[in-house]
Structure 1
Amino acid sequence: MSVHKLENPRRNVADTAEPLGFRPLYRQVKAIFVRRLVDGVWAPGESLPSEGQLATEIGVSQGTVRKALDELAAENLLVRRQGRGTFVAEHDERRILFQFFKLVHDDGERRFPDSTVLGVETGKADESEYVALDLDGEADVIRIRRLRSLDAVPIILETLTLPQRVFPGLEAGPIPNNLYSLFAARYGVTIANARERLKAVALDADEASQLAAPVGTAALRIDRIAFSLDGSPVERRLSICLTKEAHYLSDLR
């Protein structure tokens, strides 16, 4: 079992580096908890020790532990269940739907899309992939191209690029609809957050053919970089989305 203890609350915890300035104690405790998630000490779906146990183990007050856990829960890394305790979040469809899948049908109902894999290949990363995934040297990547549908209607054409060293053997398949769950279960990689860039585009001939729409149809291009718990970029996802019957929904808090 991994045990961390704060011997001097006014020193930064060694688990993560702090650029400048003083970190509140609960942030130092949070860094310890994040390191446990990164190291797999706490696995997805696992119940955490009680706040009192954690406070005694680390050497801080229970209130400090609670504040750290609350912040991780707000970031969707932990789940608080009334009367049952605190659990490590899993990449189930509900979590992905509300945290990472932002395209919503115009009727307002959130639905997890179905996926059809069009192709999987491996090769050297191109320049944009090197930059997006912060790759070194002649890095190999896995590219997955798939079509995603809502109510059997094709709505998204996406290409995922993954560092092969992070996900060895993934290209051998099968490729599940819920990839983030696979990342966590097989490779110990939890997607913590993502950054997206959106741009209006027009469908080219290939995109139009796959999405069964006329060439030149207006679409939304989403360029997403997904990051693991330690802040490493582990997935680039380019999505071409039809928005005739759907819209992009982002809850700002």
Structure 2
Amino acid sequence: MKTRKRSYNDVTSETIDRNSYEPAYLQLANILRRQIAVGVFRPGDQLPSEAMLCQNYRLSPMTVRRTINLLADEEVVVTAQGRGTFVNSLELSRAAFDLQELQHLFNNPSMTVTLLNARIVAADEHTARKLDIPVGAKTIYIRRLLSLDHTPALYHREYLIYDPTRPIVESEMEVTALKGLFDGIGNALLKYGKLSIETCLLGEEEAMLLQTASPEAAFRLEHLFYDFDDHPVSWGWFLCRHDYLHFTAIVGIKNG
């Protein structure tokens, strides 16, 4: 059964609050998002022209243009030269999965980190390729176990380029760079990182450390961090029990 499309008369007329600390272009973007969410505008519908938005909300063309650019960057709308601005259709390819649940794990106050091993090892071919160093070069190999309420949740293995002058080495012994980034206090020596997630089966040793059966499905989160010279400094991966991590995403605009 088809649902009736809402009109402007179905929703409360909203205006721009001139006394708000929120910029006018963000207020307008939120108004348009809400109108799309409740069905005033549906996928494929054309939004009011920029001139009409300027008139209706008493805004400058520059402000309205900034709103449209913002919504276009978020892929809420698409602009067609000479035709106008249209609401984007629902596409699963635009689904974005965030790492909030993983962040909650790291920020859980009951999280404890147990250092299992830390030693200097020669880089094998795979590690050397990841860290862009010669095969046989010195690296620091670290193994640690992260637990929630004394129950193992993540097993972490990491290789760092050996350089005793880098304070990152000492700090990594206690807390991972990834946890620091989730906390919003990422290491000042790191410029950016690459993350990838895949599923895997735990080996016997890994399953024993995580106190689960073998073989057992798990998430493998690989990370590679770079310094401000764009050189790799840290490569490793977390193995997370499958029952500790779930990923969800919302496609389109949800009302409320």
Report the TM-score when normalising by structure 2: 0.48
Report the TM-score when normalising by structure 1: 0.48
